[in-house]
Amino acid sequence: MSQDKSSETTPSIEYIDGPMLPHLLQGSTDTTIPQTTTSLVPIITPPLATQTAASEEVADAQQYLLVPNSQRIIVRSAHHGKRVCTLVPKGDESIHAVTLVWLPVRGDDDGNADDEENDEEEDSGEWVVVAGCSDGTLQEWSIAKVSAKSNEEVAPRRVFQLTCSKTEAVNMVHLTSPTVSDAALASSLFEEKGGAPLYGLIHGTGKKTKKSSSCVVSCLIPRFDDKGDDQTEGSIDLKRLVPTKNLKSSTSREEKARLQNSNVCLKKGDSILGLKAAYRPSSSTALADTMDYEVEEEDANGISQGDLFLVICASKGFVIYRESIKSSSSSKQEDGELVHFELPMKSSYQSKEQSAFSSIAISPDAKNLALGRLSGHMEILDDVFDNVAKFLNAQSNGQDVDQEQHPEAVTVRKSVHWHANPVRALAFLADSGRHKGNSGSLISGGEESVLVTWQLDRDFHRPSHFVSRVGQGGILHTLCCMHTGKIVVFCSDNSVQCFHGANYDRLWTEQGIASMMLHEEGVIKGNEKQQNDIKKGPVLISKDPITGHPILANLPGAPGMVHWYDPKSASVVGTLEVSPYNRVSRRDPRVDPNIPTPAVTHIAIGQDGKDMITVDTVWTENTSVGREYTLVGPQGDETPMSVCTSIKFYSFSDAKGRKPDQRKHRHGDLPMSYELVSSMASPHGREGEVCALAISPNGETACTLSRQEDAFRIWSKNTTYSPSGVRSVMWKCLYKVKTPAGFANLLSQNNYSSPGQNLVTFSSDGSVLSVCYGTHVTLWDHASATLLNSLSSAEGIQHLHFLTKDDDFLLMTSESQVAIKSPFGGAGQSCYLGNDEWSVDLSAFGRDAKVSSVIPFGDSGLGAKGFFAVSVAIDNGAETVVMVVDRSERGVASVKDTDSLMHWRIKGGVSSLCVNECIGSGVELLAITEDCRMLSLNVGIHKAKTLSLKSQSTSISRTQAPVLQVGSEVDSQPMKKRKISTMPRGTGKAQQFDTGFEFPSLSGKFITSFLSKRHG
């Protein structure tokens, strides 16, 4: 019990979600280097039975999706897509490569057992996940233990240190297994090899030369004995197969041919993008009954058990490595042999860069090879492995072979083309019936986000089926289950979807946090200020009062969308389409710029969640609307475009009062119950863009601020009821206020125009509006457009908040300062807060310390005491400290009844914060990092299951910094002149009105303070 209590009072960090797969940013203009140079690709497991009885295997069979990234491997159910658990490497090492391996399990030796029983024992075993990590280790997890680890982090079962002769500092960057879906085939191969074979590519340093080198290697994973001694750690010796060598363009043909016999030869500047392995058993084995080819059964060295092929694919060519598997009785195992392929494009109009390979797939029967290119072309090599085997057999038998008999010359190449952009995903479909596993169908995908099916056995030159608009991002990877026929698609918007293999119906979809850009966007021509004005800023995150889920907006991976996200299930549970987005691919990636996607740049929601306001920006080629910009393509071509800004008002409607949705939704879509009640394009004029948005707590009033218009506007909600009782909501602009004299140009200064700022806010009772102009904060009675007071700061204010409803003090943060100020008081005055005012310089963290985000806790729990959280980036953004600050103590808050401080250290930057729970003395914060992760920062909030990472402490001084003189008396400053215009309903002309002094409807402390200030 004491241990649980201690864990609750210790600040912990929980990884919630992040990019499902690495390298989500596709569409780079540098097409010479493939962007899929990683083996961190998703894997689908075969059906796994939870019971050993054969009668229960089908009913209890479970399949899992292994979705790796550099930090962990997410295990999802292949039946519904929900997260099952997380595989985390030992020592928090980075993951570089992942594959699936079959390990047979042999029971107790029984000499009296008959042959059938022995055969069944040999076929029994387990599937394990093997990952190559940055510390030169192979780490192993058992898939059989996954179902019992619901929503937990699972540590590796075994860790092997890799060693290799002639190489030190081994780093495994690619991994592949020849049998990732067939247990019987894998078991047979295990017995012949004496272990589970793995093939990979390592980077390292030569022990003698001390130069960096790469080499294709193999190793054997030993059997796991859970009844034996401790096997958690060990070592594995890697067998060097063939080294890689980059050839110079001046290398002669004879020298090149000599080097290709014993090296994987790459062209200058080329790199290996992937490894694929396939095993073909010999015709003498029972496993070859369903195969169409024959492997030579016997030679002088023993009985052949089949051929193992390893495809080593680079961007400008590929190599097929063959290793003949001999029986265990054979005294000699032959070394592998190589065949190099270049396969230049047949069309002359494609450049060498465009003809580079971008994806690869091997047919399930190890017969054909499919290759995708950056140009969008695909090539299918029929019987390429059979041709390679015949060519190498002829060479080994001493026969004379010439270039005309080379597999590249005799292999039939089927070339097809539909994609306009690089082919990023390829997979062979599994056919049903007795032809299951043949090479008749192929699926492909790319930046167009269209799943394309090809029937290779008939009418192969054109696609047979399309599934369009699979996701808002391009297709990254596709998987096809050879057992169920299901198709699983991964998109760059961080979504995974499952389709039926026969009718292509979408069975389920899971959407993660879509915080990664879908593609690089075009460069904007202009100075730094113009480019800064169009920045989209960080991901916006706030708590929905109705559902209790965080609301995410301004998501780069979900253009024009607002997502409701459930941290417990790590998935999106609701969506709202603010700005429709029809994904259109570039006409020519080499010339045309990538058009920036729509963005929900601001969102505000009322205290009860019934009213929501959004501001979105949309790029259009119609230059007669919106603010004009010029996009510059990769080769300098300029494209004039405009950005149209719109403000939209939504009203929540329950199931009873909601109008029927006439739009067609696919299975898996999650539309939320919000209706668009008002909308206005260009709310601040054609050139005006919205830089800040706020809504009053009661949801009746809103304010928008524009730098270009140099004014803020007040919006009011009008609710009417028809005679039948139908509620109608409409929003309108009441008036706009130009920047008062004396504050001119402060709003548009470059130093204060960073995106993601909170420059306008309402008081807790909604009666006072604060508007920030650079280094000044103005307080307004928005009911009568009256300027009440102004405060000043030494630095440009970036975030502004009213805190608790009891005292309504202001929380102001600049780039390097945090300050608490009285709206109508001043330092040394007791009429309002008085000496409670304070400010702290963050120089204790270093000169480069910067405030990245700040969030008050509201009026519950610690929020009632004036607590708030602030994130500070240090070491030039390499690390971020998130702190819970106690206003009354003027420092970092302590955990109740302990000396432990409420703070967390996070690698990298934090762009956004949100309070998820604030109960009693505990709090849980949600943090969005700059590398697109969502983290839970928890202290004092009990959770049934916590995925805790090692929390680090930081030395933060409680010494109070000198109090800055921020703010001045109202009497010492003349009232600023301002221009006020109103738009009365029914008239189109602005009218001037008298702005004589009138008391606004303020809270008690506001009125008391204001009276004491004005009348002594």
pLDDT of residue 838: 85
Does the CA dihedral 685-686-690-696 come out positive or negative? positive
The amino acid sitting at 589 is P
**CA–CA distance, 476 with 426 (Å, rounded to integer):** 9
pLDDT of residue 897: 78
CA nearest to 977, candidates 742, 820, 700, 791: 742
- Token digits of residue 599: 């963005």
Q: CA angle, corner 267, sides to 263 and 271, nearest 5?
A: 85
Placement of tokens 């010999």 in the chain: 282
The amino acid sitting at 436 is K
pLDDT of residue 987: 38
Long-range CB contact pairs, 1007-1012, < 8 A, 24+: 1008/831, 1008/832, 1009/822, 1009/823, 1009/824, 1009/825, 1009/831, 1009/832, 1010/788, 1010/824, 1012/831, 1012/832
Torsion of CA 704, 708, 711, 716, to 10 degrees: -30
Contact 447, 587 (CB under 8 A): no
Placement of tokens 């009256």 in the chain: 786
pLDDT of residue 975: 39
Helices (H), 669-805: none
pLDDT of residue 826: 52
Helices (H), 195-340: 253-260
**CA–CA distance, 538 with 533 (Å, rounded to integer):** 14
pLDDT of residue 431: 64
Burial grade of 208 (CB within 10 A; 0-12, 13-18, 19 or more): exposed
Q: Are strands 523-524 and 506-511 parallel, antiparallel or unpaired?
A: unpaired
Contact 20, 490 (CB under 8 A): yes
**CA–CA distance, 802 with 694 (Å, rounded to integer):** 12
CA nearest to 422, candidates 516, 350, 480, 318: 350
Q: Are strands 153-154 and 83-87 parallel, antiparallel or unpaired?
A: parallel
Tell me the helix, strand and coil percentages in the chain, rounded to 5.
Answer: 10, 40, 50
**CA–CA distance, 712 with 584 (Å, rounded to integer):** 35
pLDDT of residue 350: 66
Cβ atoms within 10 Å, residue 450: 20
pLDDT of residue 552: 94
- Token digits of residue 188: 């047979």
The amino acid sitting at 108 is D
Largest Cα–Cα distance in the chain?
A: 111
- Token digits of residue 494: 């961080």
pLDDT of residue 751: 47
pLDDT per 10-residue tile (average), the chain, 1016 residues: 54 87 47 49 83 43 88 91 91 88 66 45 74 92 77 88 85 85 73 83 83 89 74 86 88 87 87 87 51 46 70 92 70 72 70 83 90 91 92 84 84 90 89 50 91 85 90 89 90 91 91 81 66 75 92 90 91 90 68 84 93 94 88 83 94 63 54 90 91 93 92 93 85 92 70 68 91 90 90 87 80 90 62 66 84 87 82 91 88 84 91 89 90 89 45 32 31 40 40 37 43 41
Distance between terminal CA atoms of the chain?
A: 59
pLDDT of residue 201: 92
Placement of tokens 């299975």 in the chain: 667
pLDDT of residue 937: 94
Does the CA dihedral 618-619-621-624 come out positive or negative? positive
Helix (H) or strand (E) holding 185: helix 183-193
Contact 130, 198 (CB under 8 A): yes
Cβ atoms within 10 Å, residue 77: 17
Side-chain-side CA neighbours of 106 within 13 Å: the count stands at: 14
**0.85 cut: is pTM over it?**
no
pLDDT of residue 1011: 39
- Token digits of residue 9: 């009072």
Contact 710, 736 (CB under 8 A): no
Contact 404, 411 (CB under 8 A): no
